Amino acid sequence: MRRLTVFNQVTLDGYFTDETGDMSFFHKAPDDAEWNEFVAGNASSDGILLFGRVTYEMMASFWPTPQAHAAMPAVADGMNRMHKIVFSRTLADVTWSNTTLMKGDLVTEIRKLKETEGKDIAILGSGTLVAQLTPHLLIDEYQLVVNPLVIGKGRTMFDGITERVTLKPTKSRTFRNGSMLLCYEPAK
């Protein structure tokens, strides 16, 4: 059975985007070797990336470009090599390499995909997917990087969730840049 993980960065006040959907304030200093090694290690995974339309369009507009390869070659190579699934009711097709477009019911399709043998799945960004899958306990692990930043207003990954979901901590890591990786699993 496949595992489904969420990896997102959030502000100290819990937002993963600002009011306009911007996430650029999470960029770290380019010379932050510890952070860059961590990110490159994540990008070297051979799993499947899962996106909603908005995140897919943002990622597809950057990672295949020469600028991405020049800025972060290991991450760009990983992002372009990995298989990607995008859920969208409005996209007609996808052009980023190794991407599959799915239009079915998200919860049903993810439940079926998780029951098959194969590579694990990771959601990057895509708060709408996180909010839809969380109440159904389809996410096996939440990996959140909490940044030492307060923005006051924005959007959480859990917008629209109406019932409590209890999580248990599994591991943590503090980076020299002040960010903290916090990992949780559903308490079930």
Tell me if the pTM is above 0.85: yes
**What does the pLDDT look like over 41-95, one tens digit per residue?**
776 677 899 999 999 999 999 999 999 999 888 888 889 999 999 999 999 999 9
Residues near 148 by beta carbon (within 8 Å), at least 6 away in sequence: 12, 178, 179
Q: In 3-state terms, what secondary structure has residue 163?
A: coil
pLDDT at 49: 94
Whether domain 4-186 has CATH 3.40.50.360: the reply is: no
Domain boundaries, the chain: 4-186
Q: How far is CA 176 from CA 24, 36, 116, 125, in A?
A: 20, 12, 39, 23
In whole angstroms, give the CA distance from residue 146 to residue 54.
Answer: 22
SS3 content of the chain, % helix, strand, coil (to 5): 30, 25, 45
Per-residue confidence in pLDDT tens, the chain, 188 aa: 899 999 999 999 999 999 998 888 777 776 788 887 887 777 667 789 999 999 999 999 999 999 999 988 888 888 999 999 999 999 999 999 999 999 999 999 999 999 999 999 999 888 999 999 999 999 999 999 999 999 999 999 999 999 999 999 999 999 988 999 999 999 97
